[in-house]
Chains A and B, each alone.
Chain A
């Protein structure tokens, strides 16, 4: 237990009645050097120019500070900070939480454009004379930067709040396009790679995690659904960008001038589109909970905690690494099929009476994209009802059975193949979208965005692992003279093995040991506050 010093007085403006509520761990977020300092005070009186004596103490369990009106209902004065600061985004009492998902979507739908980069590859290759490998560099660097900035920028996002994070994301992502436009117009390809890949990639990572903890604070009763909406948006971003970018290249042309103009328009349009999220996003006021929702009742369910674990402590727990394995192998299984979908279905049914045409294979890829996107919202929302652990049992267990069905059925029935692939891809999307809510259940909302950022390294790993397994084995089988389903059978059994390992890792997940929990401020009486550990999960 830590006995805090009450050593900070805040000068208030001329508004009447304010309470300054700062929790120890929030002070730690603002000034890491003052980790053991807590100030919990209620000051009364108008036009306070001098430090005011402490009148009362309060318990608070949110991750920001605010100034409240006398009745404690209305935030009347933001803590020091500019328009982008967390304290300036505290929602007024009549704010609807249903305004927060569109704010999140405006960011995720924009940054999801990254998966439509392939549209720019052929024009760049012919206009700037770069190789296929070279034209993929901006995307690859962008994905690397997404992982790095999400993993390392998480604590900054938590500290500065969602508006700051969305603003940084907007600036980086849009600037990336503008730099790329400059690079193309001056035939400096390195600038395209640096702009879109490095600068834009930082925007991808910060943008991806920016709304996560805010959504879960607004929707503690339905965290799976809330994050499912946002993460579905990331998948939807490519659906918008792919035809839109194609049409724009058709309009402006595919020479350097046309590509540069297309990049310029992308940068400007995405800046405007994302600014809606920057302006609209709000964090809930201190102590806000949905009407009729009782945290203690929700926490009575297995694996749902009311305690909080910092990002630094989270990666020291076995639960984090079990979930890392779960996500990594679930994504590996899905991404393997997704990346190879078109050639895979054509190879599978090449020697049958019903071969699959190029056009039909493209339709199959579109169907899988739809399954991936729908799975994100449907399965993630379902996890609010049946629990996160059970949901991952379905993703991994049923996913393994679907892979087994494909392996055993071979090329006997194409509808069996298609149905199983739809199921696998919906579980792939669902696995992505349910992960933040699983983290919230295990580690609380305190730094869940930062923890999620670190978990995304599992995605990066799977992004390499999945295609590597499928492609390497298919190539070796082809070299051995095999055709049809035999090209993929070994890969399918490897995927089944990975899913089983993931299933076992999920079974090992238990509530986090209380020694990792953050201290909680408990009310002790006027002018004295005690920090204690929070209760069990």
Chain B
């Protein structure tokens, strides 16, 4: 079903949908990495 042409029609929706979840997730991972540096600092 999702061949290249069909997928192309959904690109804007795909970008929005993935950005919707990846951006907050990226924020969480960033905050985690900040904490993680303490392991090597300690």
Contact = CB atoms under 8 A, between A and B. Distances in A.
A102 B32 contact: no
Contacts of B25: 105, 109, 233, 236, 239-240
A359 interface: yes
A99 B17 contact: yes
B6 A96 contact: yes
B20 A106 contact: yes
A51 interface: no
Question: Could you say which interface size class chain B belongs to?
Answer: 20 to 34
Interface in B15-42: 17-18, 20-21, 24-25, 27-29, 31-33, 35-42
Contacts of B27: 240, 243-244
Contacts of A152: none
A360 B36 CA distance: 8
Interface stretch (A15-23, A142-150, A178-186, A362-370): A362-370
A79 interface: no
A109 B6 CA distance: 28
A98 B20 contact: no
A102 B2 contact: no
B36 A366 contact: yes
Contacts of B31: 239, 242-243
Contacts of B18: 102
Interface in A77-121: 93-99, 102-103, 105-106, 109
Nearest to A100: B17
B21 A96 contact: no
Interface majority SS (helix, strand, loop, mixed), chain A:
helix
A284 B13 CA distance: 18
A276 interface: yes
Given A99-B13, A99-B17, A276-B20, A363 B40 contact: yes
Nearest to B36: A366
B1 A109 contact: no
Nearest to A247: B31
30 contacts: A95-B2, A96-B2, A96-B7, A96-B14, A97-B1, A98-B2, A99-B10, A99-B17, A233-B21, A236-B25, A236-B29, A239-B28, A239-B32, A240-B24, A276-B17, A284-B1, A290-B1, A291-B3, A360-B39, A360-B40, A360-B41, A361-B42, A362-B39, A363-B36, A363-B38, A363-B40, A364-B39, A366-B36, A367-B36, A370-B32
Interface of A: 93-99, 102-103, 105-106, 109, 233, 236, 238-244, 273, 276, 280, 284, 288, 290-291, 356-367, 369-370
10 closest cross-chain pairs (CB), A and B? A360-B42, A363-B39, A239-B28, A363-B38, A240-B28, A357-B42, A366-B35, A102-B17, A105-B21, A243-B31
